[in-house]
Chain A
Amino acid sequence: MVATAALFAIPFGYLGVRAIGNGGAGWEATVDDASIEPLWRSIQLVVLTTVVATTVGVGMAWLTARTNLPGRRLLGVLAVLPLVIPSYVAAYAYVSAFARGGLLDEALGVSWLPAVRGLPGAVFVLTAVSYPYVYLPVAARLRTLPPSLEESARMLGRSSWQTFRSVVLPQCAAPIAAGSLLVALYTLSDFGAVQYVRYDTLTRRIFAARLDPVTSVAVSLLLGVLALAIAGGEHLARRRFRPVSGVGMKASITHRLGSLRWPAFGATAGVIGLALITPVGVVTWWVIRGQRSGVRRSRAVDLPQETWSTAWIGVVSAVATVAVVLPVAWLVMRRQHRVAAAAGTLVMATFGLPGVVIALSLVGITVGTSWYKGFTVLVLAYVLHFGGQALGAAQSAIGSVSVRYDEAARLLGANRWRRLWRIDLRLMAPGLAAAGGLVLLSVMKELPATLMLRPIEFNTLATRINATVEDALFIDAGGLSLVLVALSGVLTWALVLRRH
């Protein structure tokens, strides 16, 4: 646990040391309007995106898990998938599809669509790619929640909506809080979407100032403090609700939506249409359009190799990440361990840092060693970058397993390790798989840290998408993006969804 905390302290420590080294100039750069204004914009973006994405995520989870929504099984699976679309791909797809003369204009003749720009554009794009952070844990919770309370509420004459509000929401408070924290930190760390919709947040400022180290360190530190504040604030809020124990059984209660059944279907399908079908459609369109005009193809892309590299580095990093954060999650949830809780806050806050900041800190401390630009440091970067995702999900997993089983087994004389292995890990398995799944998806689309720390000649689908788009090899860029989305979908299915 201490080792975990020490690892996650690296980026903050590095920023702190650099900022102190910069002295007065660093302080001036921190309080400069050019830093404070982006800070204010980041705060607005984080708040708005979190509210909208949480609403969408909870709504989607309840509709697909607990109601007689038409096609809810399929919709339930599709609802997870926007997570596999990199924010830069989504942002590009929306901006180009919604633009006048864009795909929607050309194909459907709709030219009145608003441009995806500024704060509303950024909220829209980031909601589309991040609401699954809320959807996943809440849907998982709803599936393991004992139906008895809801049944009682229904029998007492409460409507579906009243039951949802008075019974379901409180029981889902922990996963909702965990999911919205991920959305908030993801939004804070995002660069791809804000750069494209031109909303000048802290991450954009850090990028713009990359050849001005004093400023970029100062702004990174501001962002780091904001991330710590968000993670710490959530930690304080979380103490107010105690986790409700689940029983790990399949809950089958179904609310009848009645006349709202099809409108609800429309809303759910609309979210999936915007968040999943639109970006995938635009990318497919590149490929088709490119095929027709017979443009030049990439010479460097080796699809099987890059698909394999993406898959294995993703799986290894996911397993490593869960292993690193599990002790912290365990101590927090089972022992209410104070120090572990502080470590957990640090792990969460690190998720709020942009990849480039984490990567630069690892450059600083590993350069000159034989690990630099090796797989160990690359995997470490992913562990630091995405540990928060795994931690939230792992805590939910642990929280959903009743300690009563553990107590019963102890009375029967089972030792600690046997109880852990036979009871807790078994019951937590779906939740831990979900934790790993989140990390897996993030690693597969990660770009800035990968570009900086990957071993020479190691290419993932994401690095190839980057290179081919830069070179405007649109067939390849589109094709690679589709492979990335498909691979992510298959792996999510195989490792996570299938178990539910």
Chain B
Amino acid sequence: MSSRRAAAVPCFVALLATACGGDGDGGSEETLADADEVDCQLEPVEADGELTVYSGRNEELVGPLLEQYASQTGVDIAIDYGGDSATMARQISEEGDASPADVFFSQAPGPLAFLGEQGRLDTLPDSVLDKVPEQYRAADGTWVGASGRVRVLVHDPERTPADTLPASVFDLIKPEYRGKLGIAPSNASFQDFVSYLRIAIGEDETMAFLEGLVDNDVRTYPNNVAIVEAVDSGEIDMGLANHYYVLELLAQDESLTTRNHYFPAEDPGAIILVAGASVLDTADDPELASQFVEFLVSECAQRYFVDVTKEFSVIPGVQPPGDERPLEAVGGEVADLAELGAGFENTADLIAESGLEG
């Protein structure tokens, strides 16, 4: 499961999501049970009106948490799940001053930054901003991260101990890793990684790296779960994925021997992709809207992301999912893909041009 959190942008049309990010099987009944175990015990909130939340994050994913907020605080909350985050941001932009939206909950920073540039986001109060370390929120205080996903190299520590692994993601094109690596080129999370490379090292270098992967006999898989399973069965030694796939599969099957390896924090192989939330300038009751955003970065909601969606918490003190190290210890740079603007979408074509087929 997971294009849902994997996706910064790509897929707003149903099955396309599978193309760009969908993964085959995954998740478990247990995971679902966890959803009900997180009980935030919120105090009732006095509010006159309704709170309208535009969510670019999937109902399957964040629905239970938002419903819990509504039922425990008594706030009348309307949640609009409108497809992909970038399209929602554009809709809010077109709505202008008359927008019914109070809060925008985005899968990635790009759509938030777009609205920020248009002056559509309120500055959040310090009580919210102070909860989240600087690197996981907007410099101007217009949005805060709500959860994080990290790019990793999955491997079997018995078969390929950490000291035999490449020091940098760029080493994967070296001869010693020929035919040993698996990737999912059509997956949104891989595309986010490549988009980040385009910003960090430029188009030409990115292309050279992708072609290097092709020349090094990289194996391609339809999704990240297939990569983890291929590593587990010994078909390949390592694969590039987001961190939560191993955690999801471990939750289903304890005998899984595959684990996450984090590249050094300064390496582009270890970027962090965050989801974030903001209060819109059209919020009827900015205080209520801020309270809701504050709830998303509260310890309880953060525990929900860790336990249920197996993402990293963005606030200090909340244990990471599984046996992972905390985000600040594993994570590299927070990827702000907004810089690519509309060119962002061309990443899939760049990947195809390099000869990678998935």
Write the residues of chain A forming the contact surface with B, with a CB cutoff of 8 angstroms.
Answer: 86, 88-89, 91-93, 95-96, 99, 101, 115, 191-192, 195-196, 198, 200, 207-213, 215-216, 289-290, 293-300, 356, 360, 363-364, 367-368, 372-373, 447-448, 451-452, 456-457, 462, 465-474, 477
Contact = CB atoms under 8 A, between A and B. Distances in A.
A296 B22 CA distance: 14
A467 B348 contact: no
A300 B19 CA distance: 23
* Chain B facing A: main interface SS: helix
B32 to A, nearest CB: 6
Nearest to B64: A299
Given A198-B349, A465-B15, A470 B94 contact: no
Contact of A195 (B16, B89, B90, B223): B16
Given A210-B87, A296-B26, A472-B22, A466 B63 contact: no
A95 to B, nearest CB: 7
Contact of B13 (A88, A299, A373): A88
Interface string B47-73: 000001000001111011000000000
A209 B15 CA distance: 21
Interface string B83-95: 1001101110111
B275 to A, nearest CB: 14
B14 A86 contact: yes
Contacts of A200: 349
Contacts of A92: 15-16, 18-19
A88 B99 CA distance: 30
Contacts of A469: 14-15, 17-18, 22
11 contacts: A89-B15, A93-B15, A211-B111, A296-B27, A296-B31, A448-B12, A448-B13, A452-B83, A467-B58, A469-B15, A470-B4
Interface of B: 1-4, 7, 11-19, 21-29, 31-32, 35, 52, 58-61, 63-64, 78-83, 86-87, 89-91, 93-100, 110-111, 114, 222-223, 341-342, 344-346, 348-349, 352, 357
Given A207-B12, A296-B32, A451 B64 contact: no
A472 B341 CA distance: 27
B52 to A, nearest CB: 8
Contacts of B64: 299
B99 A296 contact: no
Contacts of B89: 211
B60 A456 contact: no
B187 to A, nearest CB: 11
Contacts of A211: 86, 89-90, 110-111, 114, 341-342, 344
B100 A472 contact: no
A405 to B, nearest CB: 46
B59 A212 contact: no
Given A191-B13, A208-B345, A373-B100, 20 more contacts: A92-B15, A196-B19, A200-B349, A208-B344, A209-B342, A211-B342, A215-B342, A296-B29, A300-B59, A356-B87, A367-B95, A367-B96, A448-B13, A456-B78, A466-B13, A467-B59, A469-B14, A470-B11, A470-B22, A471-B1
Most chain B CB within 10 A, of A215, A462, A472, A474, is at A472
B86 A210 contact: yes
Contacts of B97: 368
